[in-house]
Structure formats: structure tokens, C-alpha cells
């Protein structure tokens, strides 16, 4: 449980939710140096260092308060004490503490109720002190309209600030905005490619997946199945579920790689526990042959069954809805992907697709 708490505490957000992110190096360093210095576990403790930090914290030193919070968060019995010091540090203006506390409020973790307004306020305070993860998260909140009125252009401004400071998540997020587009933000595949490339070149798996998709479909670049395979393969090696299913479909069809049904099946099975039903349909419709409806249904049914044998779940148990309901569908957390990322109109004019159990 200790590691789970620490993971939540150092979590940063991306434009489409929580995901793989840059590690907070300052916090990681503090934790590495201080996690052994717990008051109740002093087997390898520099007692003088601990007492010095404790004294400074009690005197109102914001950094010492933050360090003390990170020490205690490793001890289940000291969690409440840790959070008290974290709040004191944040109130004293410590940027890292503001970021961590903002993340806890955003997620609604460690006994705190979810509060987007408090999260936004804390992220802005931290961002204004140059915290790159907080800068990205302010952009996330504008893009999602959580704690603040939704504004994709302001989101982009914040992501650009993060990108200038080298945040790969911010680079990806700008690319994603240009790739999907909205009613108020124009799609631009050339710029999407530019920003995905910046992030992918630094090894960010989500950007590697989208570059693979762009080369596969010829979005903003010349269609090239081999290059698509190379980018998707990189993302798969980092555990990206979307790329895993996409690569499965490429093996199944022999596009960009020699046809291999065994590998296709293995990758499809791996993807089952990695991606949602909506993502499944998105990827199948993008990577499966347009004309091969039977193949598309086979993949959708298999993945939507959540690992059950295909024969145990017929298509009447998986409701694939086609209708003129874009406005309603786009209100969902992931369903904005349906019209924009799936480009479903490439396959079925005027359609929205959603996979769900009856």
C-alpha cells in the first residue's frame, strides 16, 4: 500500500486522463534521501538530519515541511501526519507540495474528497512557480473543463509553456489537440505530427502510437505501413494497449509485416486487459480493412467480451449502436474520441459507434 500511496502522490495527468508521465525528479530525490528517516524506523537513520528537518518544519520552513511529509507517507501509520505536513507546506507556498496536494484533490485519494476547484487553484499556484507537471495539469483542466470553464485554446497555451520546459506529456497533449480538433479548435495533422514527433523522439509511448496511426492512415504524412509498424512496435514494447491491438491487426492482415495469425492472436489477447471497449472499436475501425465487416466484428466481439470465449458472447450481447447522436455521445469522458480520433465517417457516413454490455 505504501508504494500505491506514493504513486498517487507523484501522479501527473495527461489530456485524456491519468497515464504514463515524467517522474517528479525533485520529489523522487527527496523521497530517496529521506524515506529511511522515519521517526518510528530508525535502523539506518541520520538522526541529526531528521531532527534538523523536523525543527525547520516546525519553524515554518516550507521545504522541510514537504520533506517531512514525504518521509511519513511511506508509513501507513503516519499517513495522516504526512498529509498535515503536506498541507502546511502547500500553504507556505512550496511548489512541489502544491502540485502533490492538487493531484490528490484531482483524483480524490488518500481520504480527500475529489475537488476540481481546489485542484485547479493548487496547480495554478505551483505552475506559476515553474513546476512543469503543474503547468501541464492546468492545461489538462482547461481541456477537460474541470475546475474551470473548458477552453482548448487556453489549454494549448499552458501545454506550450510545459513543452518549452521539456515536458513530453505537454508536447503530446498539443499534438493530441491538433489531431482530434473540436468545434472551437481546428484539426491540423501537420502540426499534430510535429508535436507527436517531438514527444515520440523522447520515448513517449502514446505519441509513438499516434505516429504509427498517422503513418498507417496517411494522416499528415505519406502512408507507409512499414514506418507505422516501427512506431507501433516501439509503443508496444512500452506496454501501450492501443498499439498492442493495432499491431495485432497489422499481423492479421499482413500490412507492414509478414502475416502471422499466431502473433496477431497473442497480441489481441494481451490487449484485452489493457484498453477500454470504446478504444477497442476505435482501433478496430481504424486498422481493420474497411470492407471486412466480419473481421471487424470478430475483433470487437472478442475484446468486448473481456476475455470470455468468443462463442459465449454473441453480437446481440454487444450493442453496437449506429445513429445520429453525436452530441449525446460526445458528452462522455472517452466518447469525444469517437468522432474525432476514430474518424468513423471514413467507414460509415453519419455514424457513431459504441460498444457496451446490455
pLDDT in tens, 83-120: 999 999 999 999 999 999 999 999 998 888 999 999 99
This prediction has a pTM of: 0.71
DSSP 3-state of 186: coil
DSSP H or E segment with residue 357: strand 355-357
Distance CA 231, CA 235 (A): 6
What pLDDT digit, counting tens, does each position of 269-290 carry?
888 888 877 777 778 878 877 6
Residue 308 in this model has a pLDDT that exceeds 60: no
At residue 357, φ and ψ (nearest 5 deg) are -80, 140
Confidence of residue 301 (pLDDT cuts 50, 70, 90): low
In this predicted structure, what is the pLDDT of residue 212?
96
DSSP state of 315: G
Kindly tell me the burial class for residue 45, based on how many C-beta atoms sit within 10 Å of its own C-beta (0-12, 13-18, 19 or more). middle
Long-range CB contacts for residues 118-127, cutoff 8 Å, separation at least 24: 118/147, 119/146, 119/147, 120/146, 120/147, 120/148, 121/147, 122/90, 122/98, 123/98, 123/99, 125/90, 125/93, 125/95, 125/98, 126/95, 126/96, 126/98, 126/99, 126/102, 127/158, 127/161
What pLDDT digit, counting tens, does each position of 229-253 carry?
999 999 999 999 999 999 999 998 8
Write out the DSSP string of 222-248: ---HHHHHHHHHHHHHTT-HHHHHHHH
Kindly tell me the burial class for residue 56, based on how many C-beta atoms sit within 10 Å of its own C-beta (0-12, 13-18, 19 or more). middle
Residue 303 in this model has a pLDDT that exceeds 90: no
How large is the C-alpha radius of gyration of the chain? 23
Mind listing the domains of the chain with CATH numbers? 1-160 (1.25.40.10)
341 Cβ contact partners less than 8 Å away, ≥ 6 residues apart: 179, 180, 282
85 Cβ contact partners less than 8 Å away, ≥ 6 residues apart: 57, 65, 66, 68, 69, 72
Amino acid at each position: 500500500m505504501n508504494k500505491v500511496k506514493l504513486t498517487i502522490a507523484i501522479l501527473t495527468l495527461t489530456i485524456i486522463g491519468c497515464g504514463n508521465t515524467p517522474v517528479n525528479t525533485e520529489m523522487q530525490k527527496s523521497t530517496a534521501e529521506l524515506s529511511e528517516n522515519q521517526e518510528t524506523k530508525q535502523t539506518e537513520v541520520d538522526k541529526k538530519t531528521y531532527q534538523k528537518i523536523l525543527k525547520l518544519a516546525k519553524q515554518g520552513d516550507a521545504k522541510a515541511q514537504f520533506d517531512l511529509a514525504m518521509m511519513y507517507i511511506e508509513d501507513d501509520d503516519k499517513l495522516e501526519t504526512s498529509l498535515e505536513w503536506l498541507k502546511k507546506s502547500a500553504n507556505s507556498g512550496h511548489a512541489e507540495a502544491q502540485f502533490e496536494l492538487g493531484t490528490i484533490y484531482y483524483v480524490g485519494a488518500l481520504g480527500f474528497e475529489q475537488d476540481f476547484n481546489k485542484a485547479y487553484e493548487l496547480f495554478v499556484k505551483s505552475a506559476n512557480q515553474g513546476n512543469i507537471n503543474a503547468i501541464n495539469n492546468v492545461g489538462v483542466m482547461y481541456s477537460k473543463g474541470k475546475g474551470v470553464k473548458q477552453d482548448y485554446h487556453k489549454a494549448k497555451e499552458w501545454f506550450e509553456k510545459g513543452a518549452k520546459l521539456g515536458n513530453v506529456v505537454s508536447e503530446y497533449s498539443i499534438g493530441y489537440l491538433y489531431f482530434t480538433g473540436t468545434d472551437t479548435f481546428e484539426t491540423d495533422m501537420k502540426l499534430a505530427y510535429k508535436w507527436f514527433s517531438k514527444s515520440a523522439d523522447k520515448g513517449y509511448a502514446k505519441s509513438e502510437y499516434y505516429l504509427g496511426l498517422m503513418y498507417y492512415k496517411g494522416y499528415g504524412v505519406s502512408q507507409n505501413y512499414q514506418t507505422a509498424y516501427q512506431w507501433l512496435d516501439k509503443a508496444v514494447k512500452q506496454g501501450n494497449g492501443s498499439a498492442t491491438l493495432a499491431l495485432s491487426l497489422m499481423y492479421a492482415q499482413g500490412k507492414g509485416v509478414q502475416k502471422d495469425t499466431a502473433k496477431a492472436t497473442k497480441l489481441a489477447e494481451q490487449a484485452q486487459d489493457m484498453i477500454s471497449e470504446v478504444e477497442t472499436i476505435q482501433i478496430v475501425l481504424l486498422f481493420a480493412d474497411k470492407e471486412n465487416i466480419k473481421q471487424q466484428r470478430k475483433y470487437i466481439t472478442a475484446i468486448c467480451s473481456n476475455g470470455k470465449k468468443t462463442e459465449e458472447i454473441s453480437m446481440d450481447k454487444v450493442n453496437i449502436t449506429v445513429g445520429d447522436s453525436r452530441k449525446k455521445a460526445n458528452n462522455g469522458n472517452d466518447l469525444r474520441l469517437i468522432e474525432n480520433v476514430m474518424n468513423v465517417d471514413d467507414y460509415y457516413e453519419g455514424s457513431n459507434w459504441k460498444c457496451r454490455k446490455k
